[in-house]
Amino acid sequence: MEKILRVDNLKLYYYTSKGIVKAVDEISFSLKKGETLGLVGESGCGKTTTGFALLKMPTPPGRIVGGRIEIDGLDITPLSEGEMRKNVRWEKISMVFQGAMNTLTPVYTIGKQMMETLQEHRQMEREEARKRIEKYLNLVGLSGEVVKRYPHELSGGMKQRIAIATALFLEPRVIICDEPTTALDVIVQAQIINLLKDLKEKLDLSFIFITHDLATEAEVSDRIAVMYAGKIVEIGRNEEIYGEEGPCHPYTRNLLAATPRLHEKVSTLSFIPGAPPDLLEPPSGCRFHPRCSVAMEKCAKEEPPLIEIEEEHMVACWRCKR
């Protein structure tokens, strides 16, 4: 399948008064056309930072300090901010930000906010722009009348759908969804998940779906990339991560073990002892080794490379071999 996004050795560091925080440290992955890649891990592991890095929008004092981001064959890492705004963001790659209710300006109508984004990128008459906006609102299950409303007049689910419509209406190849069901009740969460799956089929979209909810990832993703302490530790197809044999990396196994099962009686939930490392001074070797129950002496001294142990299944662990 055509690969529309390639990321090679991407590094994004935060330069703070206390030192350099290696939030995303030499990660590599690809995304195929029409595929959903799930990005999972504990809070603070670098998932959202990776999303902002792909847009070249690091939160200050963050900087992309190395690596390559290629979209449709174009390496965007050397592009200026002006080139990114005009030709890449929302044109080739867009993002549904976490907490849609915080991304909408309360003093403007929905129509005004969407019109401003559209006219920044497309030279078109207002009537043509209005029709395009209504088309994408209809695609996400909303009436065109929503353009006259203010954010406070809408429910959380409606705001999330508007964020999705805004990310879509310039027809980018890649959509990043950062916790798109956060703060929504379970019924609305299911509606948003089903909406994203329908849009993927209708529009042949490619998604990067960021969450720490492994049950949601099992529902929406074709492949899963697991992050820990700024590193990708395992990438595999859905069936390899959630199948009977299960994943190979101890961290991925522990994450799955800590996830409640709907149809199984569990008296005590598993947990991962300890806490994620301080990325100002990450541990030597494998960053997970201080919390790993099967760590060897080698794990503390040498960092394991991300290797392919079987087709499209990559793991960074000394215990996992080809």
| pLDDT tens digits, one per residue of 147-190 | 999 999 999 889 989 999 999 989 999 999 999 887 778 888 88
Task: Dig out the tokens for 4 from the structure.
Answer: 């529309």
297 SS3 class? helix
DSSP state letter for 192: H
Task: Dig out the tokens for 319 from the structure.
Answer: 């215990």
- For residues 268-287, average pLDDT: 90
Task: Dig out the tokens for 12 from the structure.
Answer: 């994004």
**Between 126-139 and 110-121, two packed helices, what is the crossing angle to 10 degrees?**
110
- For residues 123-135, average pLDDT: 90
154 SS3 class? coil
pLDDT over 90 (residue 282): yes
3-92+172-261+269-315: CATH, from 3.40.50.300, 3.30.70.260, 3.90.110.10, 2.60.120.920: 3.40.50.300
pLDDT over 90 (residue 322): no
Local confidence band at 245 (pLDDT 50, 70, 90 cut-offs): confident
- For residues 206-226, average pLDDT: 92
- pLDDT the model gives residue 117: 84
pLDDT over 80 (residue 310): yes
- pLDDT the model gives residue 19: 95
- For residues 4-19, average pLDDT: 96
CB of 254 closer than 8 Å to CB of 272? yes
Compute the C-alpha angle 307/311/312, nearest 5°. Answer: 70
Every domain of the chain and the residues it spans = 3-92+172-261+269-315, 104-171
CA dihedral defined by 206, 212, 213, 218, rounded to 10 degrees? 40
- For residues 71-94, average pLDDT: 93
- For residues 206-218, average pLDDT: 90
Task: Dig out the tokens for 295 from the structure.
Answer: 């760590």
Q: Which residues contact 233 (CB under 8 A, 6 or more apart)?
A: 226, 227, 249, 251, 252, 288, 306, 315, 316, 317
Task: Classify strands 206-210 and 174-178 as parallel, antiparallel or unpaired.
Answer: parallel
- pLDDT the model gives residue 221: 94
DSSP state letter for 271: -
pLDDT in tens, 45-78: 999 999 999 999 999 999 999 999 999 999 999 9
CB contact burial 168-185 (16+ within 10 A = b; e otherwise): bbbebbbbbbbbbbeebe
Instruction: State the amino acid at position 315 in one-letter form.
Output: V
**Between 156-168 and 186-203, two packed helices, what is the crossing angle to 10 degrees?**
20
CB of 58 closer than 8 Å to CB of 67? no
Task: Dig out the tokens for 308 from the structure.
Answer: 């392919």
CB of 284 closer than 8 Å to CB of 268? no
Higher pLDDT, 213 or 280: 280
CB contact burial 93-117 (16+ within 10 A = b; e otherwise): bbbbbbebbebbeeeebbbebbbeb
Question: H helices within the chain, ranges in order?
Answer: 47-54, 81-83, 110-121, 126-139, 156-168, 186-203, 214-220, 238-242, 250-257, 297-301
- pLDDT the model gives residue 262: 67
DSSP 73-142: TEE-TT--HHHIIIIIBTTTEEEE-S-GGGTS-TTS-HHHHHHHHHHHH----HHHHHHHHHHHHHHTT-
